[in-house]
Structure 1
Amino acid sequence: MTTQVTGSPKALVTQPSEREVRIERIFNAPRERVWKALTDPTLVAQWWGRGNKLVVERMDVQRGGHWRFVEHSPDGTHGFEGRYREVKPMERIEQTFEWDGTPGHVVVETMTLEDLGDGRTKLVNVSLFHTAEDLQGMVGAGMEQGLNQSYAALDKLLARPN
């Protein structure tokens, strides 16, 4: 059963199970541009941190590769990291996600990109949490607000000329 977590006008966020969150968002850019924005460290630093300064310490986009980002926000410094489990260029990334604030609470994220054929791309991200409590903690910590802030920054990046 799918239930709506919250009513965002930008990203559709649902909870297909007690341990999963599904995020669906359409970007007004071709799949190749969206892929590059998701996998090029220079571009990721411009949008991923909700518009805050983001330092990309590592980003080895290949199976087994490690990524680590540090966001510098008004409320402090936040580190995030994980490993790439699968990378299929232009189509799919599966990775782990862990926040320094809750070490050991690892999320498995599966992101797919669909070319809609009209210059737009649908991004679907499914996050599988270890426990239902982990999921509720992330939702309660403002996950949707943060992702919509990051996606708004990504929209601005994608709207710029190549």
Structure 2
Amino acid sequence: MSEATITTPAEREIRIERVFDAPIARVWRAFTDPELIAQWWGRGNTLEIVRMEVERGGHWRFVEHGPDGDHGFEGRYREVTPMERVVQTFEWDGMPGHVAVETAEFTDLGDGATLLTTTSLFHTAEERDGMLHSGMGVGLRESYAALDKLLAGLS
């Protein structure tokens, strides 16, 4: 288990790298199976999967039910290459019209470990900075801790 590394390699990008102690097939499944993603994506809060069509052009929508209210997120899948890569748009209901493009790349490190690299491209540097200062790091760590527990229990 490792900590996520968050960097800003370009003016409008956030890059996150994290190694998971699980084979690539297990990590891929946790990201593409609605029943599994509901168990970790919402930081431990109840996550309603309204729609999750994991295919090019498919729509996804999640609603997180937390102590501070409900938060909706959605987007469209632009590319789905099994066990390798997912490219999707990402929009939070709280900031309509501010759409990021997220690319998740899955790398088999051998010995049952997987590197997940996520790059988010924002429309402007200000939108990127707004995301960085939104508390995303805390939410990311909470979600990835929940994912670690889920991955350890999957076979």
TM-score (norm 1): 0.93
2:144 is the alignment partner of 1:151: yes
Displacement of 1:45 in angstroms is: 0.2
Write out per-residue CA displacement over residues 17-71 of structure 1, whole angstroms, 9 at most, x where no aligned residue: 1200000000000000000000000000000000100000000000000000000
- Inter-partner Cα distance in structure 2 for 1:155 and 1:85: 27
Deviating above 4 A after TM superposition, structure 1's stretches of 4 or more consecutive aligned residues are: none
For 1:135, give the aligned amino acid.
R
2:103 is the alignment partner of 1:114: no
2:41 is the alignment partner of 1:42: no
1:104 aligned to which of 97, 101, 105: 97
1:13 aligned to which of 6, 15, 20: 6
> How many percent of aligned residue pairs carry the same amino acid?
68
Give structure 1 stretches of 5+ with no counterpart.
1-8
Calculate the aligned-residue CA RMSD, in Å: 0.8
Aligned to 1:52: 45
Count of matched residue positions in the alignment of Structure 1 and Structure 2: 154
Write out per-residue CA displacement over residues 63-96 of structure 1, whole angstroms, 9 at most, x where no aligned residue: 0000000000111100000000000000000000
- Inter-partner Cα distance in structure 1 for 2:40 and 2:134: 20
